[in-house]
Amino acid sequence: MVDPARPRPPQVFVNSGAAELPDDFIKHLVSGLADLGILNVFMDRDEWWGRDLDRIFTCIEESTIALVIFSPCYPEAEWCLDELVKMKERANNNKLLVIPIFFNVSKNDVRNFEGEFGDRFVELRKRYTKYKYDPFRVQRWETSVMTISRMEPSLTWETQSSSIPLAMDIIREVKKELDIASDPGFSLPLEFHNDSHSKLTNGEVFVSAFLVAFLFRLFIASLVFTDMTILRTAKWLVGFPVTIVVLYQLHCALTQRNRRAPDA
């Protein structure tokens, strides 16, 4: 979450990227944070459009806490997703606490790219792939969304009633996290670093295992086996990667259980 070794006045960066947030919500949020002594609150709203991302990244680097407000229209802003990548990088280095907030969208839709949120992200991917030239940028966006949307603590607002209670919940959560971070003995649990940021996806494991199987059959198998019948079938190229994926998931589950097991 927050690195207590670097003392600085608390600063909050609000990442939303859309004009869906009601004005009364923003006013109550900024006012409530000011009551906590957080006078520097940066909103990535329309006034940021057209500015150099380096300046926005500097604000993120100087922030103690980042509030990521996911909404159905969130994927429409490329610069907002670039901010998300930067926040994930800071969180990986234990320099930033990121609190995901699901505003009129479900956690499941964001985490699994489903519903209106998923449809808009698919549209962005198609549009970007057609006209842009950085094939890894969309992948970084997708990874950052998956990672940050699974961070805790998180807050959800899915009703059509006033959003002011959500602002109050955010203020209370920020106060609690600042109190925790001020504890000299506070540090991130090891599980947070390893599970949230380093775990490979099943697709990445499958592709890697498929390449290993293909290269093994192409260059090494003939030097080891006399009967190449099995290795020439599609069962080898598909079955081996699937087996590796299953074993990898089993390894992750056992590792996670061991970390959570109480000390003997």
Three-class secondary structure of residue 156 per DSSP:
strand
Q: Which residues of the chain have pLDDT under 70?
A: 1-9, 18-20, 45-51, 130-133, 135, 159-161, 181-207, 209-210, 213-242, 245-246, 248-264
Q: Could you say which of 83, 114, 142, 191 is catalytic?
A: 83
Give the residue among 152, 193, 194 at the shortest CA–CA distance from 176: 152
Tell me, yes or no, whether 173 and 232 share the same domain: no
Token duo for residue 54? 């380096």
Q: Does 188 reside within a domain?
A: no
Q: Does 140 reside within a domain?
A: yes
Q: Does 192 reside within a domain?
A: no
Tell me, yes or no, whether 49 and 137 share the same domain: yes
Q: Does 92 reside within a domain?
A: yes
Looking up residue 154, the CATH number of its domain turns out to be: 3.40.50.10140
Tell me, yes or no, whether 168 and 216 share the same domain: no
**What is the predicted pLDDT for the residue at 16?**
85
Q: What is the pLDDT of residues 193-243, one digit of tens each?
A: 434 444 556 666 666 766 776 666 666 666 665 555 655 555 556 666 667
> How many domains is the chain built from?
2
Q: Does 197 reside within a domain?
A: no
Residue 62 is among the residues annotated as catalytic for this protein: no
Tell me, yes or no, whether 46 and 149 share the same domain: yes
**What is the predicted pLDDT for the residue at 117?**
94
**What is the predicted pLDDT for the residue at 250?**
66
Tell me which residue range forms the domain holding 72. 11-182
pTM: 0.65
**What is the predicted pLDDT for the residue at 194?**
38
Strand 97-103 relative to strand 40-43, pairing: unpaired
- Whether a cis peptide bond, with omega within 30° of 0, leads into 4 is no
Tell me, yes or no, whether 15 and 146 share the same domain: yes
**What is the predicted pLDDT for the residue at 136?**
81
Q: Does 237 reside within a domain?
A: yes
